[in-house]
Structure 1
Amino acid sequence: MTKIIARTGHRTKKLGGYNEEIFIRLVALSKASLLKMQATEVISGMALGFDQALAIAAIELQIPLIAAVPFKGQDELWSEQDKECYESILFQTKAIVYVDKTREYSTEHSGYNPQKMHKRNQYIVDHCDEVLALYDSSDGGTGNCIKYAESLGKPVLNVWKSWVKYRGF
């Protein structure tokens, strides 16, 4: 039975910063969650933070990964190290979908635009069975993504309490 898991979650500044220790913990949390959810495929939006940790977890668990990239050049403003990690993940995916180029999710905007992130989130929810969330209940894109998933009746597993408990905030 196929079980496609998508993710929504905060970027690094809400997770305690961006360093190797935090990223390793995010990957470990993602692995445990994917195993608990019995994932057979994963969709990642490829943003820094939880998105990429989930992608690495899927790769390490040998679960097929689809990269739902909001637009080509998503990584333009990132550090060289972050760009290398991004490229490495993309190289190991089952498929790469540039969401802004798909008929149903296309936008008229070029380059970065918040609407493209919203469309990417819609895409991942529309194409999954369940959503894995790392969400602290604050306003923003993660909350909007969860509301969208719930409006479609998609189960959402929010692992924020586990993150806080084992991260030591």
Structure 2
Amino acid sequence: MKKNVTITGYKPYELGIFKKDHASVAFIKQAIYKELYPLVEEGLEWVIISGQLGVELWAAEVVFDLQVDFPQLQLAVLTPFLGQEETWSETNKEWYESIVVQADFVESITHKPYENPKQFYLKNQVLLHKSEVSIIMYDPEKDGSPKYFYEAAKKYSETHDYEIREITFYDLQLIVEEEMSKKMDSF
């Protein structure tokens, strides 16, 4: 039984999403839900994110929705360094704060402000060691920030019993088509 899962993926701007209520967000959250739900039914205890904008915060919102029926499910936010949100827009800071105040556990991995990229490397290593599964929204065809975690997870899985579940653009397209089909059927 898998106890802990790490979720990560693209930042909003990498997906061309510049508003929190963009129509695509619902499909992304649905894809995360589809991956998470069976794990939760099997007894998943913790979802771990680093608090990055985009897929990680959307995943947190999915966790909060799931907690209604699965109150034992918990969210951990393990930031790579202190004050990662300091340079963000006011809207993004508010979104981040709304997630952090509802999280079950919040901690900074390095306990100091940003110093260098090694803090991101360390964050990836900690998230891998704290989980048995990663759900990652990443498509190797579209480069972006999740590439580094994805590569670290692939390498880690070569020497550890570690599962990587990918959400690709094809998966999102299938969800969109499924929703369109439902709308057409009800018309």
What TM-score do you get using the length of structure 2 for normalisation? 0.76
The match for 2:4 is 4
Q: Which runs of 5+ in 1 are unaligned?
A: 102-108
* Cα contact 1:9–1:134 (8 A) shared by 2: yes
Task: State the identity as a percent.
Answer: 24
Question: 1:14, 1:141 → 2: CA distance?
Answer: 8
Q: Does the CA-based 8 Å contact 1:18-1:49 persist in structure 2? A: no
**Offset of 1:86 from its aligned partner?**
0.8
The equivalent of 2:151 in structure 1 is 147
Match of 2:135 among 120, 132, 135: 132
Q: Cα gap change, 1:92/1:133 in structure 2, threshold over 3 Å: closer, same or farther? A: same
Instruction: Please say if 1:42 is aligned against 2:47.
Output: yes
Number of aligned positions between the proteins: 161
Per-residue deviation, residues 49-68 of structure 1 (Å, max 9, x unmatched): 10111111112211200001
Q: Which structure has the greater CA radius of gyration?
A: 2
Matched residue SS, 2:83: coil
Indicate yes or no: 2:129 matched with 1:121.
no
Offset, 1:114: 2.9
Aligned position for 1:156: 164
Q: Which 5+ residue runs of structure 2 have no aligned equivalent?
A: 68-72, 178-187
Shift of 1:98: 0.2
Cα deviation 1:113-134 (Å, max 9, x = unaligned): 3332222122111100100011
Residues 136, 166 of structure 2: 8 Å contact kept = yes
Alignment correspondent of 1:26 = 28
Q: Which residue of 2 aligns with 1:79?
A: 89
Runs of 4+ in 1 over 4 A off after TM superposition: 138-141
Normalised TM-score (structure 1): 0.83
1:152 aligns to what SS in structure 2? helix
Q: Distance in 2 between matches of 1:27 and 1:40?
A: 19
Secondary structure at the residue paired with 1:17? Answer: coil
Shift of 1:87: 0.9
Q: CA RMSD in A?
A: 2.2
Structure 1 position 145, deviation (Å): 1.5
